[in-house]
Amino acid sequence: MALRFDGRIAGFGTASGVRVVVGMWPRSPLGSFADVMLERADGHRVLLAPSDAVARFVSETYTFDEVRIVPVRYSRRSRVISVEAGPFAARFTVGGISPLGRLLRIVPRRLATSPAWLRLIDPVARILVPGARTAGSAGGGRREYYGVTSARGITAITATWEGHDLGYLTRLHPPVRFGFGSAPAAPHIVEVVTTIIERA
């Protein structure tokens, strides 16, 4: 069985050393939801999820040291996206289509989101975007495929964690360690179809 999540992922680093990945999923088997994966400078990995069902599914797919169930909301006004998730809050500004995004647009969407294609190009993706992967393990014998169809740079952020300012925008480095791959080091928001293939 194939589970398909259609939405956006934003990834960025901060001057404090906290690295953040925000998933915004208007279309998914779990309904419309957003979640936040955060890795502190000391390597502690936190999932902020809006429900028990989302927390259970995501923590079965990725690895965290801590899971919190909190209201997670996001909104977009023009090029500014706002996210609130319990102890985390952020506003980030989305720029134009990046060079990576222009490259991705060459591939037709149907092909770009196909697991067979993503399995084939995974070795190339690792070279072009260090840390990124298009195919890998989703745990429990499942396989996961990231089909990115567009990418825009993130140009500025304001963010807080547990009331503390996280500082200015930086590269997402070192890579986050939630799953088999990381978001690009350069701060980006990508349009993506994530497909998880369950065991037969």
Does the structure show a pLDDT above 70 at 24? yes
**pLDDT given for residue 200 in this prediction:** 54
Separation CA 136–CA 169 (nearest Å): 29
Give the whole-angstrom CA distance, residue 119 versus residue 93. Answer: 32
pLDDT of residue 1: 84
Three-state DSSP state, 101: helix
Strands (E), the chain: 2-14, 19-27, 33-39, 45-49, 66-69, 72-77, 80-85, 88-97, 135-139, 142-161, 164-165, 169-170, 188-197
**β-pairing verdict for 19-27 and 33-39:** antiparallel
Enter the pTM of the model. 0.93
Domain, as residue range, for 65: 2-197
Q: What is the pLDDT of residues 34-53, one digit of tens each?
A: 999 999 999 999 999 999 99
pLDDT, one tens digit per residue, over 43-97 is: 999 999 999 999 999 999 999 999 999 999 999 999 999 999 999 999 999 999 9
pLDDT tens for 118-169 read 999 898 888 888 778 899 888 888 899 999 999 999 999 999 999 999 999 9
* 190 close to 182: Cβ distance less than 8 angstroms: no
| Cβ(1)–Cβ(152) below 8 Å | no
Query: How many structural domains compose the chain?
Result: 1
